[in-house]
Amino acid sequence: MAVHVLAIATSGRERSFTSEGHSFSHTIDPRTGSPIDNSMVTATVLHATCMEADAYATALMVMGPDAAIDFATKQQLAAVVTFVSDDDSLCERTTPALDAMLS
């Protein structure tokens, strides 16, 4: 088993709030200025520094699952995202960089 000297950060929707029967994330999409409204549950990133891992994890949350995995793969990030699929099941996707670390 390989040992990696990396930081890990997770962003998620656990700190949401409810208004008029709708749940809103505490994460704001900078493109709209509104809380994110996508199927993301969590994004976890391993990186050389915790600050960068945290920034990437938050950015992945804003992007949504497909764009997050595409971006993380292109950036060669070790990442995993969890999200709610169209059939309301909880799904998880990992990047090739994380898969390589786990093998």
CA 12 to CA 39: how far, in whole Å? Answer: 11
Percentage of the chain modeled with pLDDT above 90: 76
* Torsion region of 59: left, alpha or beta (phi above 0 gives left; psi -120 to 50 gives alpha): alpha
Q: What's the pLDDT score for residue 2?
A: 62
Residue with the larger pLDDT of the pair 92 and 21: 92
Look at residues 47, 30, 37, 46 and name the one whose alpha carbon lies nearest to residue 13. 37
For the entire predicted model, the pTM comes to 0.90
pLDDT in tens, 66-89: 999 999 999 999 999 999 999 999
Residues 6+ apart with CB under 8 A from 10: 42, 43, 44, 45, 57
Backbone angles phi, psi at 62, to 5 degrees: -70, -35
Q: Which of the four pLDDT bands, split at 50, 70 and 90, describes residue 19?
A: confident
